[in-house]
Structure 1
Amino acid sequence: MPKEHVIIVGSGIAALVTAWHLHEYRNVIIFTKSKKEESNSWLAQGGVAAAFSKQDDWRFHYEDTMIAGGYHNDERAVETLVKEGPKRIRELIAAGLQFDTDKDGRFHLGNEGAHRHRRILHAGGDQTGRALVSFLLEQLRGNVTIIEDECVIELLVHNGRCIGVKTKNHSGIIAAHYASAVVLSTGGCTGMYEFSSNASTVTGDGIALAYRAGAVITDMEFIQFHPTMLCVDGKAVGLISEAVRGEGAVLVTEDGTRLMEHVHPQQDLAPRDIVARTIHGEIIKGNRVYLDISKIANFSERFPAITKLCKSYGINIETGKLPVVPGAHFLMGGIQVDSRGQTSIPGLYAVGEAACTGVHGANRLASNSLLEGIVFGARVAETLRRHEQNTITYEHLENRFVKKSRKLLPTKQQIQTIMMHYVGIVRDEQRLTYAKQWFEQFSIPDFVNTNVDDFKLEEITIIHMLITGWLITTSALQRTESRGGHYRHDYPHADENWQQRRILRVKQELMAKVWGEK
């Protein structure tokens, strides 16, 4: 088998930035289980947050990020993010990426929730993600091998080191690919929820793969729900960017009353967890919530993708009111990494939403996600450029997993329903316990240690969802406080001793349970 120097799993912004900074120094191959454009990055309507204006400063961006994250953030990681962000963005601009500007050629800086200054760069209005991904794919054309429709089903680990991946395509062909380093950039897991802004492919694959390989997973209870998804016939059908509220839209009830006016000092631009819970509370009372866009001039020009979405579902934007509902949006936790993307397994790196750098804490500040992919993708690439290539021995690679009798699996829809109704915006011990028991009826330890070669790709996706859903649920049970995206109805207040309660302890207990170390 050929040896690729570096394998990247995933094709979102973090994966592509890593490849862009690395391809001149290493032979890079990217695997994606669907098409290269099918990622959350491609769908991203919002922009990239960075302190570019004269009135702004990285210290303000730092403070806003810490406040939004409930001070659960890794302070050094946040400082790295906000300090290096402008530099990394200028590198992309110098290479030809264009952000939206005003008539004088100055960046059009938008405003979003929990930001004290206008610092959101956009490209193509509400199509920033598509612009970034398209630009990077063009930059990488002919320089990086991208293999579509091939799913990574196992990380190959030998003598405690990750030395490659095992893949399976839609024809059922299984292949081993070896490399001196593997980078997981598979996105998060909130496609596991019934209402979600994510691409349908984002189902926790990378997290489950890393967990099965023995990597430390952290902060899985922190799930961010985006407050405003377009609601049609009781379903969430697409995202309405926070940038819409940044330009003056407000949330209202059916009778036109401002929803957020007396809830938070920042009103409609309060942190996302607060806005999402407020909308959720109104909806469970049986009331509808709308986003009033009547004060935004030239809405269809400013937000072309959202306008197209509304028209496709028969929503007339001229009425000035868009029906909204919260939906699962972003995972703040993930595969624990250091400042250079190194996981607890040598040779295995993670970047983007699949990784937990600590920058987001308990709740992500709006438009910090694309920035994270840009900053830490570059850092992972620099690390891999400096490291000498390792000799790979795989002739007698042992299969760590065992073949076990096949078990009846739930459907993807069943898992999504359980996650939405029992591990959703508002949680409590009773519902979380029910969800935990529901997941454990499928014997999670068995799936962690099962050889999945003979399973269909759809079944492997469900196995990944079961493992990841169990991690989220068990973590949410362990954290008996409310912080950021994790809200416990039975423990509504934050623990003032949170610094002594870092969630790594919980994850070590979970790891011990599955791997039988106790």
Structure 2
Amino acid sequence: MEVNDVLIIGSGVAALQLATLLHHGQTVRMLTKSHCTHTNSYLAQGGIAAAVGIEDDPSKHIVDTLEAGRFHNNNEVVCEILNKAPTLIRDFSNRSEIFDQDRNGNLLLGLEGAHCEKRIVHSGGDATGKNVVDYLLSKCSDNITVEENVIAYELIIDPGENRCVGVKAKNPDGKIRHLYANYVILATGGCGQVYAYTSSAETITGDGIAMAYLAGVEIVDMEFIQFHPTLLIKNGQTKGLISEAVRGEGAVLVTEDGTPIMEGVHLLKDLAPRHIVAQTIFDVMESGKDVYLDIGCVQEFEKRFPTITAMCRDHGIDLSKNRIPVAPGSHYVMGGIQTDGMGRTSLKGLFAIGEASCTGFHGANRLASNSLLEGLYQGEKLAHWINEQPVRTVHSSMPISTPTPSVQSKKANLPDVHLLRKLMMKRVGIVRMKEQLAQQKKWLEQVSIHDFTTLDHYSNEELTSIFLWINAALITEAAFYRTESRGGHYRSDFPYEDDDTWGKRTIIQTYKGERAIYDEQVKASLVT
């Protein structure tokens, strides 16, 4: 029987922050489906937002976060995280010494879209995520066991206590394992790979969200998908992310003839909230024109953005022309497993942190560079809470299980994944409307959730397809249900915000084997 105090699924910033801050007397096991660095955290370029500048204040950061989130945020969570952010970042900076500084030892601060102040701390120019993850990995102590290439696929529930006590997982050779823990944490990231164009790592397939959904846990706000405005595009394929920090340093979005596309669209022009910039680029591309980032005004571009420079050169982009071809693609899901600020879900014993969770912090659209901040905050807060809990023993009535031989693989009756991703981009992408959403709902309903009451007989590849299908269905259902436009959810047939009808969250969960969808009021509204 494999038992640990804490079982963490995932290896991003939130997972690593949690693991490294737990008491060394706790036995911690971390499972990751690929390599530890094959995460969105590792790819994060821009930085971490915190009001650490002389002219800045958490109250300004709060206003920017609520405005970007279109006031769909949970105010209590927003205020708690952003008031804590300066201390959290200064402490982390003093501990790690990885953030970029000026000659006087002051943190260098960048500006990104929808921020009113320069407040983005970064590391290695545009290698913030990589450097933070590498630092946290270096701090993993002997009480932490990290297992790579192990896919968790099903939660184990103690029916007597209605409590999550572990997960089922598969080794690379297909052997099934039952792993138990006092605390089970899903830190599996978002679901970006549901879409054909995405900035997400290949591993980001919504595994944790799907596992929680199948166990009847509340999933919330899945209609709110942030499409990053500027993914590098070559021959119709996205090749990586061009950080918003590039526009923060002065780059301008233009058409091939040099016409700025954000003039007259928003007061902040190229630094408008992401959903506005992404929709504008989408409209221009729909008219048959290509869109570029003009980097001619960015001083010492190659020095400031070495990662982006290398990526462009690897894909044959001649930076001497000061033009980078870009297109929008899925970048972040504001929804996910409904939790409180610390990560507690609607199922006892189960926690979710990072992008897999939805605390209400990001509202309907995440403010740039708030995601790594949330991960660091949640990891720290949950670690402190677990450290303070009395010693608990896994329920003695749970069955004792050992690794079992691989079972005969079963084929999932699912649509082709490539077609699914293409249709999600077309029908449930940046611009949505009733007819296309209904069409996608009907197409996805070829498959029944009853087909997946047990997942033991599916290969790892088939499990990934199932998880993608579940996330696609959740996004489509929620997008069809919300008849307004807000943040990352834009309905061309309902193009305006409807505060009277839609000041609430969209919740989906399985109930007696069927999908149930309902809503509840957003916890808080405007901060005055």
Question: Per the shorter chain, which TM-score range?
Answer: over 0.9
Could you say which structure has the higher strand fraction? 2
The equivalent residue for 2:405 is: none
- Number of paired residues? 510
Paired AA for residue 428 in structure 2: V
Q: Tell me if 1:439 matches 2:444.
A: yes
Match of 1:149 in 2: 149
Query: 1:81 maps to what in 2?
Result: 81
8 Å contact from structure 2 (residues 2, 178) kept in 1: no
Counterpart of 1:434 in structure 2: which amino acid?
Answer: Q
**CA displacement at 1:143 relative to structure 2:** 4.0
Counterparts of 1:103 and 1:441, CA distance in 2: 61
Change (3 A) 1:108 1:354: same
> Displacement of 1:516 after TM fit?
8.0
Q: Is the CA contact 2:253–2:291 (under 8 Å) kept in the aligned structure 1? A: yes
* 416, 420, 424: which one aligns with 1:411: 416
Most deviating of 168-177 and 125-134? 168-177
Aligned to 1:481: 484
Report the secondary structure of 2:514's partner residue.
Answer: helix
SS in structure 2 of the partner of residue 55 of structure 1: coil
- SS of residue matched to 1:118: coil
Q: Is the 8 A contact 2:48 2:121 kept in 1?
A: yes
Is the CA contact (8 Å cut-off) linking 1:158 and 1:394 kept in structure 2?
no
Q: Give the 3-state SS of the residue equivalent to 2:37 in structure 1.
A: coil
Give the Å deviation of 1:92.
1.7
- In 2, the alpha carbon distance for the partners of 1:22 and 1:498 equals 43
Alpha-carbon distance between aligned partners in 1 of 2:376 and 2:411, rounded to the nearest angstrom: 41
Q: CA RMSD in A?
A: 2.0
Looking at structure 2, the residues matched to 146 and 407 of structure 1 have their Cα atoms a distance apart, in angstroms, of 30
- State the match for 1:39 in structure 2: 39
Q: What residue number does 2:304 align with?
A: 302
Query: Do the aligned partners of residues 345 and 317 (structure 1) sit closer, same or farther apart at CA in structure 2, a change above 3 Å counting?
Result: same
User: Given the alignment of the two structures, is residue 453 of structure 1 paired with residue 460 of structure 2, yes or no?
Assistant: no
Bigger share in helix = 1
TM-superposition CA deviations, 1:362-400 (whole Å, max 9, x none) = 00000000000011111111221122233323655499x
Map 1:31-180 → 2, pairs under 5 A: 31-159=31-159, 160-180=162-182
TM-score, length-scaled by structure 1: 0.95
Check whether the contact 1:342–1:350 (CA below 8 A) recurs between aligned residues.
yes
Q: What displacement does 1:97 show?
A: 3.3
| Counterpart-to-counterpart distance in 2, 1:300 and 1:516 | 51
Structure 1 residues not aligned, in runs of 5+: none
Deviation per residue, 1:85-109 (Å, 9 max, x gap)? 1222222223223200112221110
Distance 2:74 2:277 in 1: 24
Spell out, residue by residue over 1:387-427, the C-alpha distance to the aligned partner (whole angstroms, 9 max, x if none): 2233323655499xxx9985422232122112111110000
Offset of 1:24 from its aligned partner? 2.5
Aligned: 1:332 with 2:334: yes
Question: Which is further off, 359-368 or 139-148?
Answer: 139-148
State whether structure 2 residue 425 is matched by structure 1 residue 420: yes
Letter matched to residue 275 of structure 1 = V
Q: Which string of whole-angstrom CA distances, capped at 9 and with x for unpartnered residues, describes residues 303-354 of structure 1?
A: 0010001001100111001110001000000000012210000000000000
**Any idea what SS the aligned residue of 1:358 has?**
coil
Contact in 2 for aligned 1:227/1:325 (Cα 8 Å) = yes
* CA-to-aligned-CA distance 1:148-200 (integer Å, 9 cap, x gap): 00000111110210001111022001111110010100000012110000001
Deviates more, 1:379-388 or 1:420-429: 379-388
> Within 2, Cα distance between the matches of 1:398 and 1:436?
41
**Matching of residue 257 in structure 1 with residue 262 in structure 2:** no
Partner of 2:523: none
Contact 1:97 1:132 in 2 (8 A): no
Residue in structure 1 matched with residue 469 of structure 2 by the alignment: 466
CA contact (8 A) 2:412 2:466 kept: no
State how far apart, in whole Å, the 1-side matches of 2:516 and 2:130 are. 44
Among 205, 211, 214, which residue is 2:213 paired with? 211
CA 124–380 in structure 1, closer or farther in 2 if over 3 Å, else same:
same
Task: Tell me the secondary structure at the aligned position of residue 5 of structure 1.
Answer: strand
What per-residue deviation string (whole Å, max 9, x for no partner) do you get for residues 110-159 of structure 1? 00000000000000000000000000000115341100000001111102
